[in-house]
């Protein structure tokens, strides 16, 4: 019935501030809710004791007949396989199929669950046409849950002065609809006329969207698709806001559903104090296995901080096991990103990565042909950046293959690559194409004896570079790096003991496991490390002679049903360097990065020759409270050099808190020190009725500056919600205060300047 307008017109009235989700055509038919010939047709579920097809069963307290006309009085029910008409009085003509109902009329449609009450009306069971007066009723809500969407189980409620059905459509006059609890709904959509073709489309004429009794939006005509995969071209709701940096913000957008496989979106936004911003998205599904997405953002800024950023992602199944991927990420300047990125993470992200490749995998081998461009922005100065390109590179890999069995099996694997590379940075620039050929075969074996597990591997790595560094400048000739490698890992038997679980930990039993680990690594033959141009991780391999000792403590709990959960792990490790200069790779008084230090610790610590690494501790605990604490103690500095901790706690189902600190205190020659605190506190969630709120803060303790803060408050009713957010940036080049808001209609969407990707929850 006309209740189909619910999903349609409310969606049009709220007019999402972002384009509808892109739904590519499915590669194959999916199981139904529908007839394969008509995916929008609902499945009919047979009811017990229902009438036979084309039969009309009539029941009443009394009945009189006059030819083909039956006069039914008192508790009248006229029922077919999928519909039921109830009233105080019904005059039913069996010959024409016409039924005239009066008094407490109830019309039920079993196909879609709708119920319509009216004062009086007529309905023809043969033609399916009729007229109802003083209409009111409900329709079952179709909930399509997706991230950021407010949902409700309330049915849609509708009213109208009169409604008529003619052939394939319903026309409702002077009506309104809501999914709020009546009689005082939070929102209503009214119109002088609704024209609906079920499962196809709906029009509303002179439509007004009301919040309470306040008319908020008016449009002469609304159109909404009611198909199962609705995507309709049209203007989106204007977004309005204010910023202390940009001034007033006014945006207007248009979404174009080009076809079932392609769509595009364009928004122009006026920052009254700065200039115009342009956003353009284009998405497509070329064929099954091939699709792409293009995002473009540009700002023409009066203060000369504008720029361009675009990203392209595409993939394609080329057939015969070949796949291709392309990710393009272009940023004109880091100053532009810091000035106009909408999120804090986006504003501080100082990298840009682009890569495209085709690949194929066999049982034991893999082939990649790729091109890559990485940009690292060192500051907002345009020339202060590092650009590394691979144009192109070919990688050929061989997985472990057993070449010998018995008590001491042997596996063979290899890595190899060949490519043309270049690097540009303020200090130097390589030639346009620097050749690099790398071949890295391995032999490995494993042995097990009385609980001891030993794995060992040997490898040889030959890498030829077409150019090298000479006195810090990339003008040197070709160089060959020849490395020999031995690695041994020893895992002694684990120590374990089972205890009764304490009450605070839950479960019935607790197992404590201690896992020691010994690793030895030896690399030799890299005599010219500081002449090698660094393009990627391939180039930081250095001479090494080291022993790493590690120990892990783990706690497991088992409940009465036998489920085992790891609640705590604590790893401690330290490396002893028998070659403190790493074959001359480490230079005193500067930051040094070699493969050995990268494998041990995520924080840099080499500022000169040394015999010991920091003691690296990684603690994780998860039971009611979640704790993740990474800490480095440097015996040379005799202090904690790095610490990163985060604690999460959720209680009473609706309250949550997260606090953390990241402190970096290496030697000044390695990196500048920093100390940042962050916290998140809140209650509720996006679907909870009533008040919900959260606040997030990043504070630079060293400089005594709040670099980012946001606070969000949401009030949800039974059918809609309103959210207000305050945001503050202070990242040196940007000191900005913003206010955003959004109004959300349950099961439909939202409009406003607060978008789902910027919400705290």
Q: Is residue 501 part of a domain?
A: yes
Tokens 């069971």: give the residue.
125
Nearest CA to 569 among 631, 620, 510, 615? 620
Parent domain of 214: 2-25+49-230
Domain shared by 58 and 132, yes or no: yes
- The reply to whether 623 falls in a domain is yes
Q: How far apart are CA 429 and CA 566, in angstroms?
A: 50
Please count the structural domains in the chain: 3
pLDDT, tens digit (0-9, with 9 covering 90-100), for 358-408: 999 999 999 999 999 999 999 999 999 999 999 899 999 999 999 998 888
Are residues 154 and 21 part of one domain?
yes
Chosen domain end from 230, 246, 275: 230
Q: Output the six-digit token pair for 121.
A: 């009306």
Query: CB–CB of 567/505 below 8 Å?
Result: yes
| Cis-peptide, bond into residue 717, ω within 30° of zero | no
Cα 219–Cα 224–Cα 229 angle in degrees, nearest 5:
155
Question: Which CATH number do you get for residue 218?
Answer: 2.60.450.10
d(CA 432, CA 421): 7
Query: 71 pLDDT exceeds 60?
Result: yes
Residue 397 lies in a domain: no
More confident: 222 or 697: 697
Q: Which residues contact 569 (CB under 8 A, 6 or more apart)?
A: 552, 553, 554, 555, 618, 619, 620
The pLDDT of residue 9 is 33
The reported pLDDT for the residue numbered 226 is 64
Do 691 and 572 share a structural domain?
A: no
Whether the model clears a pTM of 0.95, i.e. scores above it, the answer is no
Q: Is residue 573 in some structural domain?
A: yes
- pLDDT, residue 43, reads 54
Phi, psi of 529 (to 5 degrees): -55, -45
Omega before residue 64 within 30° of 0, cis: no
State whether 192 and 53 are in the same domain.
yes
> Considering the domain boundaries, does residue 461 fall inside one?
no
End-to-end CA distance of the chain: 37
- Give me the pLDDT at residue 23, please: 34
Tens of pLDDT along 143-168? 666 666 788 888 888 899 999 888 77
Q: Retrieve residue 576's tokens.
A: 């002893």
Residue 31 CB contacts under 8 Å (≥ 6 apart), including other chains:
none
Distances (CA, A) of 584 to 463, 469, 531, 580: 18, 15, 11, 9
On whether the CB atoms of residues 89 and 117 are closer than 8 A, the answer is no
Res 128 pLDDT > 50: yes
Quote the pLDDT of residue 17: 34
Shared domain check, 744 and 687: yes
Cα gap 306→13, rounded to integer Å: 34
The string of pLDDT tens digits covering residues 421-477 is 999 999 889 988 899 999 999 999 999 988 899 999 999 999 999 999 998 888 889
Is residue 480 within 8 Å of 456, Cβ to Cβ? no
The pLDDT of residue 35: 46
Kindly compute the dihedral angle of the four CA atoms of residues 142, 147, 150, 152, in this order, to the nearest 10 degrees.
40
Mean of pLDDT over the chain: 88
Residue 323 lies in a domain: no
Residues 172 and 220 in one domain: yes
In terms of Cα–Cα distance, which of 137, 108, 134 is closest to 121? Answer: 134
Q: Which of 195, 230, 265 is the last residue of a domain?
A: 230
Q: Are 241 and 738 in contact (CB under 8 A)?
A: yes
Same domain, 625 and 709: no
Q: Is 611 found in the same domain as 564?
A: yes
Residues 81, 208, single domain; the answer is: yes
Instruction: Using the 3D structure, point to which of 613, 638, 663 is the last residue of a domain.
Output: 638
In DSSP terms, 235 is beta-bridged to: 254
Task: Kindly state whether residue 538 falls inside one of the protein's structural domains.
Answer: yes
User: At 11, is the pLDDT very low, low, confident or very high (cuts 50, 70, 90)?
Assistant: very low
Say yes or no: 634 and 499 in one domain: yes
pLDDT digits (tens, 9 = 90+) for 94-112: 999 999 999 999 988 887 7
Of 627 and 115, the one with more pLDDT: 627
Residue 590 shares a structural domain with residue 686: no
Query: Does residue 570 sit in the same domain as residue 714?
Result: no
pLDDT reported for residue 126? 85
Task: Please give the structure tokens belonging to residue 753.
Answer: 């300047």
Inform me whether the pLDDT recorded for 44 exceeds 80: no
> Is residue 212 in a domain?
yes
pLDDT per residue as tens digits for the range 181-214: 998 999 998 999 988 887 677 888 999 989 988 9
């Amino acid at each position: 019935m006309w209740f189909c307008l619910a999903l349609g017109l409310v969606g049009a009235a709220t007019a999402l501030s972002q384009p509808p989700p892109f739904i590519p055509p499915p590669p194959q038919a999916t199981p139904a809710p529908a007839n394969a010939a008509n995916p929008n047709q609902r499945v009919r579920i047979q009811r017990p004791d229902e009438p036979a097809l084309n039969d009309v069963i009539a029941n009443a307290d009394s009945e009189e007949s006059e030819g083909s006309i039956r006069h039914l009085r008192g508790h009248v029910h006229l029922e077919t396989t999928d519909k039921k008409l109830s009233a105080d009085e019904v005059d039913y003509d069996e010959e024409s199929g016409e039924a005239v109902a009066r008094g407490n009329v109830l019309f039920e449609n079993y196909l879609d669950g709708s119920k319509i009450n009216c004062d009086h009306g007529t309905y023809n069971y043969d033609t399916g046409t009729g007229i109802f007066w003083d209409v009111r009723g409900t329709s079952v809500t179709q909930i399509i849950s997706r991230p950021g969407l407010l949902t409700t189980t309330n049915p849609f409620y509708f009213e109208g002065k009169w409604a008529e059905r003619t052939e394939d459509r319903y026309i409702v006059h002077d009506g309104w609809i809501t999914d709020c609890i009546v009689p005082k709904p939070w929102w209503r959509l009214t119109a002088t006329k609704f024209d609906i073709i079920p499962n196809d489309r709906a029009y509303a004429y002179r439509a007004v969207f009301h919040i309470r009794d306040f008319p908020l939006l008016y449009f002469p005509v609304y159109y909404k698709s009611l198909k199962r995969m609705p995507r309709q071209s049209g203007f989106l709701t204007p977004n309005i806001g204010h910023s202390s940096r940009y001034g007033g913000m006014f945006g207007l957008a248009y979404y174009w559903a080009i076809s079932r496989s392609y769509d595009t979106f364009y928004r122009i936004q006026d920052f009254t104090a700065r200039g115009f911003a342009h956003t353009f998205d284009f998405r497509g599904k070329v064929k099954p296995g091939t699709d792409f997405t293009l995002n473009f953002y540009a700002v023409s800024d009066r203060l000369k901080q504008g720029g361009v950023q675009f990203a392209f992602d595409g993939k394609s199944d080329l057939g015969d096991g070949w796949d291709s991927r392309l990710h393009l990420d272009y940023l004109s300047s880091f100053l532009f990103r810091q000035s106009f990125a909408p999120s804090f993470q986006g504003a501080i992200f100082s990298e840009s990565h682009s890569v495209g490749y085709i690949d194929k995998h066999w049982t034991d081998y893999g082939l990649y042909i790729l091109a890559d461009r990485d940009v690292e922005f060192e500051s907002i100065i345009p020339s202060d950046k590092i650009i590394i390109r691979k144009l192109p590179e070919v990688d050929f890999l061989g997985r472990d293959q057993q070449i010998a069995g018995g008590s001491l099996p042997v596996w063979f694997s290899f890595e190899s690559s060949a490519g043309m590379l270049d690097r540009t940075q303020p200090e130097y620039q390589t030639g346009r194409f620097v050749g690099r050929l790398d071949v890295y075969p391995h032999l490995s074996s494993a042995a097990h004896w009385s609980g001891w597990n030993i794995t060992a591997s040997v490898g040889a790595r030959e890498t030829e570079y077409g150019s090298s560094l000479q006195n810090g400048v990339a003008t040197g000739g070709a160089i060959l790096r020849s490395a020999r490698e031995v690695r041994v890992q020893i895992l002694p038997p684990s120590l374990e003991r089972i205890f009764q679980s304490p009450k605070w930990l839950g479960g019935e039993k607790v197992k404590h496991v201690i896992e020691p680990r010994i690793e030895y690594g030896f690399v030799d033959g890299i005599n010219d490390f500081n002449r090698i141009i660094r393009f990627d991780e391939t180039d930081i391999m250095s001479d090494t002679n080291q022993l790493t000792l590690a120990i892990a403590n783990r706690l497991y709990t088992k409940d009465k049903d036998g489920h085992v959960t790891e609640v705590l792990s604590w790893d401690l490790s330290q490396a002893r360097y028998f070659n403190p200069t790493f074959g001359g790779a480490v230079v005193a008084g500067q930051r040094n990065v070699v493969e050995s230090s990268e494998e041990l610790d995520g924080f840099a610590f080499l500022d000169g020759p040394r015999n010991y690494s920091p003691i690296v501790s990684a603690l994780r605990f998860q039971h009611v409270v979640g704790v993740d604490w990474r800490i480095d103690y440097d015996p040379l500095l005799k202090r904690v050099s790095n610490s990163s901790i985060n604690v999460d706690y959720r209680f009473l189902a609706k309250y949550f808190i997260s606090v953390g600190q990241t402190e970096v205190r290496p030697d000044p020659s390695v990196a500048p020190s920093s100390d940042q605190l962050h916290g998140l506190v809140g209650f509720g969630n996006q679907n909870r009725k009533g008040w919900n709120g959260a606040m997030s803060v990043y504070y630079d303790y060293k400089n005594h500056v709040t670099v980012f803060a946001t606070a969000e408050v949401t009030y949800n009713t039974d059918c809609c919600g309103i959210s207000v957010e305050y945001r503050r940036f202070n990242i040196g080049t940007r000191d900005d205060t913003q206010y955003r808001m959004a109004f959300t209609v349950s099961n439909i969407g939202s409009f406003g300047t607060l978008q789902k990707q910027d919400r705290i929850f």
